């Protein structure tokens, strides 16, 4: 985890991986404050932001709209790729930090 808890698996309001320039885009385009950007990044993202309805995966899995499916697919796809990354690292005998394991 970095400075903030925004990176990682998309969760209820956590967006997952973000392009750093994304933080600058809203203020430039809409002339909004840093506080507004912080609120958007911390509370209006993740499953809630993508689905536009809820962060509860049970509700999203039962929904038939495209936004709910996208939210679940984003979370599952990110989780799958991160598991693959760490599994590949372990199978090569290296840690997730890229350090070699002693023979």
Residue range 58-98, pLDDT digits in tens: 999 999 999 999 999 988 888 888 787 777 666 666 555 55
Residue 42 pLDDT: 77
Higher confidence at residue 31 or residue 65?
65
Instruction: Give the separation between CA 103 and CA 100, rounded to whole angstroms.
Output: 9
Residue 3 pLDDT: 65
Residue 56 pLDDT: 92
Residues comprising the chain, all counted: 103
Residue 43 pLDDT: 79
Q: What is the mean pLDDT of residues 17-43?
A: 75
Instruction: Give the separation between CA 15 and CA 34, rounded to whole angstroms.
Output: 17
Place of tokens 């039962």: 62
pTM, to two decimals: 0.62
Instruction: Give the separation between CA 96 and CA 38, rounded to whole angstroms.
Output: 29
3-state helix, strand, coil in the chain (%, to 5): 55, 0, 40
Measured CA angle at 61 (ends 7, 13), to 5 deg: 25
What residue spans define the domains of the chain? 20-90
Cβ(13)–Cβ(50) below 8 Å: no
Mean pLDDT of the chain: 77
């Amino acid at each position: 985890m970095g400075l903030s808890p925004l990176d990682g698996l998309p969760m209820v309001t956590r967006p997952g991986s973000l392009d750093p320039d994304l933080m600058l885009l809203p203020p430039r385009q809409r002339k909004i404050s840093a506080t507004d950007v912080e609120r958007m990044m911390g509370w209006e993202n993740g499953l809630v932001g993508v689905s536009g309805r809820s962060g509860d995966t049970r509700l999203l899995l039962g929904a038939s709209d495209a936004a709910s499916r996208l939210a679940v697919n984003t979370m599952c796809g990110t989780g799958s790729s991160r598991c693959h990354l760490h599994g590949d690292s372990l199978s090569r005998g290296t840690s997730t930090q890229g350090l070699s394991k002693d023979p």
